[in-house]
Amino acid sequence: MDSELKHRVKKVKAVFFDIDDTLRIKDSGYMPPSITTVFESLKKQGILTGIASGRAPYGVVPEIRALEPDFFVTINGSYVIDHENNEIFNDPISKDIIEKYVAWCKETGIDYGFAGKDKAVVSRRADLVDKALVPVYGLCDVDPDFYQKHDVYHMWTFEDVGDSLQLPAELAKDIRFVRWHPNSSDVIKNGVSKASGLAHVLKRVHLTPQNVLFFGDGLNDLEMFDYVGITVAMGNGHGDLKEKADFITKNVEEDGILYALEELGLTEKEVQFPQLNVNDINVPTATIKTNHGDLTVKLFPEQAPKTVANFIGLAKKGYYDGVVFHRIIKDFMIQGGDPSGTGMGGESIYGQPFEDEFSEELYNLRGALSMANAGPNTNGSQFFIVQNQNFPYSAEELERGGWPQAIAAAYADNGGTPHLDRRHTVFGQLADQASYEVLDKIAALSTDGSDRPLTEVIIETIEVTGDEDW
């Protein structure tokens, strides 16, 4: 995030969200559990939350209402309410425009529909109509003359001609199409949009557009992207929207909203410590087979992707086969991975030294697999496994030094080398008690003055499993 965007983020006092394919997937109805966390976090910070959708209030599904947003900008900005259903803005389309639109639809031979304040209706029952509208509003009543007795806030086309469909000039001066489905466009009053609806909310709460961050995915979000201070396009969003976005996040099902807010600093990152529950996570496993027993290690590609890719790549091409652990220091670590056996050699799979990957989720706990280096960003093929179990500090001392509480406790209970944190990339952790027994047996071997074991410890091979999805 550049400094200019970081400065704008500090002004955010309200976050608004589109619904379909932003908060939830329209076709399946799936909403990531992280969305609840997002709303709770924003509210704790005193940041207002709101929905800005093409949907009418009755189309806002229960799981969205359960988030208890402060405001609802609905029907593409023509009907705006607060969380207590108090009307803030109400702007239906005039009856004479609707009559002209209905006449044009009949002349053109296309079906149409109306969004009222309390229900949606369609001109007739048809597969093409239901295909578009049922996922949003369910099976709608047929009432082609609905507008005669009810206010209409926007309308729909139902057809299979796409963007080639154009309004005549007489109608285009009052209404416009916004394509939202292969078989349907919203028909919206000119001058009305999610942005104009939001403007009425901002007037109510005495905020400016620069105080708003907005998440969207579709073409009916374009006006909002031109209006608010910060815009985030979903990874699954329309290309035109992405071109305008200040930040492009991940897809809905990839927790895109949580990811964006974490990256923008508007919610605290949910930190995981995979080393503390190493047997409960689905990650690649490496078995380092030595002449003194096997060391089974879980690898962490999410936190250290380049380092794990390097280790797996070298292992699979047999680079480590026959290589020794050339340096062993009891109550510290065992080090290997240098084909020359001197501690001065070894090359990465990239053909050159590569950068450190320090993660706030990984630490040099006892049993950690870490990269050996000759200084910052000099990683090659050499690695070590932390063996120290005689730990001189209390958990409280480490916490005061800035280590997370859970990690400080793990250091105090089991051992490790915290002085190596942020100096050596951690990318794995021993996975079972048998591996710790082999680690301690190797560390107990006699060594010479250069810390080289008098009895050779040879890596016969390294087998990797479970890496297909990484």
Structure tokens at 35: 């969305």
Active-site residue among 18, 221, 338, 356? 18
Residue type for position 284: P
Q: Check the CA dihedral 396-400-406-408 and report its sign.
A: negative
The residue ranges of DSSP E strands in 273-367, in sequence order, are 285-290, 293-299, 325-329, 333-336
Q: In what order do the strands lie in the sheet with 293-299?
A: 325-329, 333-336, 383-386, 368-371, 426-430, 293-299, 285-290, 459-465
Q: CA dist 96 to 148, 274, 280, 437, Å?
A: 10, 64, 64, 84
Give me the sign of the Cα torsion angle 35, 36, 42, 45.
Answer: negative
Distance CA 129, CA 378 (A): 61
For residue 317, the 8-state DSSP code is T
Return d(Cα 278, Cα 428) in angstroms, integer. 9
Closest CA to 143 of 160, 164, 129, 161: 129
Give me Rg for the CA atoms of the chain. 30
**232-246 burial, b for 16+ CB within 10 Å, e for fewer?**
bbbbbbbeebeeebb
Query: What are the start-end ranges of the E strands in 221-282?
Result: 230-233, 247-248
* Beta-bridge partners for 184: 158, 181
Active site residue 469: no
Query: Token digits for 338?
Result: 């240098």
Q: What angle do CA 105, 106, 107 make, to 5 degrees?
A: 90
Tell me how far apart the alpha carbons of residues 236 and 218 are, in angstroms, rounded to a whole number: 9
Q: Which residues contact 161 (CB under 8 A, 6 or more apart)?
A: 110
Q: Rounded distance, CA 320 to CA 190, Å?
A: 68
Residue 165: partners with Cβ closer than 8 Å, 6 or more residues away:
108, 110, 157, 159, 177, 185
- C-alpha distances (whole Å) from 295 to each of 224, 429, 468 are 55, 10, 21
The residues annotated with a catalytic role in the active site are 18
